[in-house]
Amino acid sequence: MKPRIYLDYAATTPLDERVLAAMQPYFSEIFGNPSSAHFYGQDADAAVEEARSKVAGLLGCSSAEIVFTANGTESDNLALRGVALAMRRLKNANHILISPVEHHAVSHTAMQLAEVFGFDLSYLPVDAHGQVSPQAVKEAIRPNTAVVAAIYANNEIGTINPVADIHQVCQEHSVPFLTDAVQAAAHLPMNQAAAHADLIAIGAHKFYGPKGVGALYVRQGTPILPTQTGGKQEHAMRAGTQNVPYIVGLAEAFSIAQSEGPRHAQRLLALREHLINQVLETIPGAHLTGHAVQRLPNHASFVFEGVNGNTLLMLLDAAGFACSSGSACKTGNPQPSEVLLAMGFAPELALGSLRITLGRATTSEQIEMLLTALPSLVKRARQLNRA
Ligand SMILES: *Cc1c(COP(=O)(O)O)cnc(C)c1O
């Protein structure tokens, strides 16, 4: 029987059973609407506020600075669109500056702000590792810049950006800085929110929490308009009755990720280093993508010369290995990755990408099985590409 080995933890993670247990009472026992004045509502509200205070504690900020949302994507949307519109109304700021390696939740929002709302959109340069330099931000920021965005840790290539330094440049120019930390929050210490950015997006299902819930840190004093209007929930920044069990789950999962993360990171980093070294050594025409050192501890990504990444993925799938060619949202898309193109990869080479992301359940036996199978699968993918 073929194995079933999950190596796509950057796409999503399984729910931690401790998180499920924490969520359970809020589906039927404690079911009130947090906005209701009676005791049913008060109990639900207490759970939401306890979760908010827990998340705030982990980020090192105040509860007033935490907004719960429906996912990481919505956190990015609220941050970018909400701040751009508020900054335009307040200061006539009409320029948006983002990195070219953002998740689509940021880049497609920026494109809509440009195409539909008339903002002037420009892109920061990145180096060959997909990293943004604070100096580049200093050079590209304008007197009318409304918002700057640079991803904290990239989902496709794992590269970590120097967000605190970028934030400092933005602060010197009084421009709000958004960082998408949806990947970073699963692995890196996050307790210095105010130093890292004015807006920080996270999503629970990337750190063993439930799908369909996220949070946004909004530093006190950051101009922002709600993008979903209605009731006064979430400090009037995000209308809609809160998803109480999922919010409880996000807080519990984030707490576990932040406390147990360093232990997992150490183990996964060793496995990951072995994986990268062996792939580069045993497979001709293999190249690492992203930064070799400043990258997520669980993240390995490559391009293979003469390979179609989708073909390789199908061969891996048939052999029992679940990996990705980049971002899960791009599955089935034969276009080369925009992230790799922005880093200077030739389109033919960028088509041959593979992402392998490790997680809590990954064992060294699984990595050895992959290392045994991969060289011949790459060879087969090359033959199919030539045929
Ligand atoms: C997964 C992901 C998102 C989207 O989060 P969802 O909760 O799935 O909407 C945004 N940014 C990055 C970097 C991600 O990895």
> What is the CA(65)–ligand 1 centre distance, in A?
20
> What is the CA(235)–ligand 1 centre distance, in A?
23
Could you tell me if 280 and 142 lie in one domain? no
The residue range of the domain holding 314 is: 5-13+261-386
Can you give the pLDDT at residue 334? 66
Residue whose token pair is 């933005």 = 170
Kindly tell me if the per-residue pLDDT of 257 is higher than 90.
yes
Residue nearest to atom 2 of ligand 1 (CA): 182
Q: What's the CATH number where 309 sits?
A: 3.90.1150.10
Residue nearest to atom 8 of ligand 1 (CA): 72
Q: Which atom of ligand 1 is nearest to the CA of 214?
A: 7
Could you tell me if 80 and 36 lie in one domain? yes
Domains contained in the chain, number = 2
Identify which has the larger pLDDT, 279 or 336: 279
Mean pLDDT within 13-29:
98
Q: If we measure between CA atoms, which residue out of 200, 240, 239 comes closest to residue 222?
A: 200
Mean pLDDT within 257-277:
97
For 181-217, how does the pLDDT look when each residue is reduced to its tens digit (9 = 90+)? 999 999 999 999 999 999 999 999 999 999 999 999 9
Active site residues: 329
Could you tell me if 252 and 271 lie in one domain? no
| Pocket residue to mutate for ligand 1, from 9, 15, 77, 180, most atoms within 8 A of Cβ | 180
Can you give the pLDDT at residue 38? 97
Per the CB < 8 A criterion, the answer to whether 155 and 182 are in contact is yes
Can you give the pLDDT at residue 325? 87
Among 234, 257, 280, where does a domain finish? 257
- Angle among Cα 67, 77, 189 to the nearest 5 degrees reads 55
Mean pLDDT within 35-62:
98
Q: If we measure between CA atoms, which residue out of 133, 138, 139, 132 comes closest to residue 106?
A: 132
Mean pLDDT within 308-336:
82
Can you give the pLDDT at residue 329? 47
Could you tell me if 175 and 268 lie in one domain? no
| Averaged confidence pLDDT in the chain | 96
Could you tell me if 58 and 34 lie in one domain? yes
**Coil, helix or strand at residue 218:** strand
Can you give the pLDDT at residue 2? 78
Residues with CB under 6 A from ligand 1: 71-73, 76, 103, 105, 151, 155, 180, 182-183, 203, 205-206, 214
Q: Confidence class of residue 326 from pLDDT cuts 50, 70 and 90?
A: low
Among 257, 292, 325, where does a domain finish? 257
> What is the CA(323)–ligand 1 centre distance, in A?
17
